A and B are shown apart, each in its own frame.
Chain A
Amino acid sequence: MFKSLWENVIRRSGDDVFENIRGNFLFKNLSTKELHFVTDIVHIRDFKKDEIIFHQKDAGSGMYIISKGRVAITVYDQNTSSDAANEKEALITELVSGDFFGEIALVQQNGIRSATARATEQTRLIGFFKPNLIEIIERRPSAGVKILLKLSEVLGRRLVETTDMVSDLTDQLNALKKSC
């Protein structure tokens, strides 16, 4: 109890942000000095329960790391209704503290969000956007390269997953066609 009490008194929110960033995959290879630099330029955003972080088809320019709270990622379910007003949302996944989302917008020219993100409880997010990435590349190029390498790794992994999913679906479709 005493430990947690002292932790609350001593630890500032900046320390939490630093720890969150240090624990994130994208910033894994950064030195302590570089991590402090990133901590200084990221944006802390607080969201209430049920508050929309971004809508599907919104212009997007960066990613969010969940510092605390939960975020639901949903897409409009086009099968349920053709009427936009009655469009229902299909839940893709629910993310928790330490997870990150929206990273594709970091490398897109005019990034458009492919899904909606909503806070399902009081949530604190760390926003890392394209201007921040460019600032790091300009002022700390070695840190920028490390982040870009990790970002490419994440995007590559997503591409492989998507390709696997598409080939699975193609197989299923072919099987369905044969059976008909």
Chain B
Amino acid sequence: MMNSAIQIARERLIKTITVILIVTICVVLLLKVNNMLVSFIMAFIINYLFSPLAATIERTGVKRGLAVSLIYSFFGSIFVCLVIMLLPAISHQFSSIKYEFPGYIEGATHLTANFEKDLNAFVPGMITFDLSKTAETAMKSFSMRIFEGLPGLFSVLLQTMILAPLFAFFMMLDGQRAIKNLLAIVPNNLFESALNLQYQINLQIGGFVRARLLEAAIVGAVVWACLLAIHFPYALFFAIFAGITNLIPYIGPVIGAIPAILLAVIKGFPGLEIVYVAGAFGVAQLIDTIFIVPMVVARIVDLHAVIVIIVVIIGAQLAGIPGMIISIPVASILKLTAISVYQHLIYRHA
């Protein structure tokens, strides 16, 4: 009996170390191999987005492989069509921005010079350096960096666009089997807790990803519709930007609105039109706050508002804007893990 207890304890220890080693190696590979983490996160997002659809198709008696292939063919075709349709518009907007950019810098410098003059008149000697000159140099070097860095960004984007759907395809096809194989080496005493934890995390993150993407799409669509209604230039560009930045909690909507409002100010739009532009973003945020967040997002991640603010700040400090985007799902994973470990310890020693 004693020998068998020692043998069981030894086997459990070896299995626990093996699981920890495998997970650590995977994390290190994700972090160290170039472009792997972004591709994997994108793959997870695609996986969470389309898995419910794959299950719906499977219900009709279609096999998983065929269901996933059907989804890929259908949405792949839509994506290609959209790219073909929108590419001329996006590239036109982009080259237009590139062409008009020096004008915007000039306008911004003029604005800063006026502001500097006003400020000096109000509090003489407050600014001891040439604010407009400094701002102009900073903006020029920033815009140069953006346009110079674009080819590199496109190469990363292209790699991700190939890798992420490929990874997602296999995740949807064999993801459950991979998890089952990993769970097979979890020691018996931790198995049920590990299985439950994995299930809860999967459920919560899946719901969170779908809810946030739906939210971003609705916000983007509302901004686009409102900006089109007031005939604002680059409406599509600003709508996509607002949709993406909306993923950042709290400050995302502000960041999303800044470029459009700045453009309106620099271009010398009348005051009322600037209010209209700000109103377009305001309407999108109002719809988001009143309808989408309470009905979709808040139900999924059960975290207190204060905790959300704290984790977003921590995320920002640790990993900047990407850190802010992933801070809430990471916090919810940590919360679930803590509850699971606590329950395991409490019930085991009750």
Contact = CB atoms under 8 A, between A and B. Distances in A.
Interface centre among B188, B195, B196 (most CB of A within 10 A): B188
Contact of A61 (B58, B183, B184, B192): B192
Interface of A: 40-41, 43-45, 47-55, 57-62, 112, 127, 129-131, 135, 138-141
Contacts of A112: 347
Contacts of B350: 57
B343 A59 contact: yes
Contacts of B180: 41, 43
A121 B221 CA distance: 63
Contacts of B196: 59, 61, 129-131
A12 to B, nearest CB: 15
A64 to B, nearest CB: 10
A48 B189 contact: no
B58 A139 contact: yes
Nearest to B67: A139
B83 to A, nearest CB: 32
Interface of B: 1, 4-5, 7-8, 11, 55, 58-59, 64, 176-177, 180, 183-184, 188-189, 191-193, 195-196, 199, 343-344, 347-348, 350
Contacts of A44: 184
B59 A131 contact: no
Those 3 A-B pairs whose CB atoms lie nearest each other, nearest first = A131-B199, A139-B58, A138-B55
A50 B192 contact: no
Contacts of A62: 192
Contact of A140 (B58, B183, B191, B348): B58
A45 B347 contact: no
Contact of B4 (A43, A48, A130, A141): A48
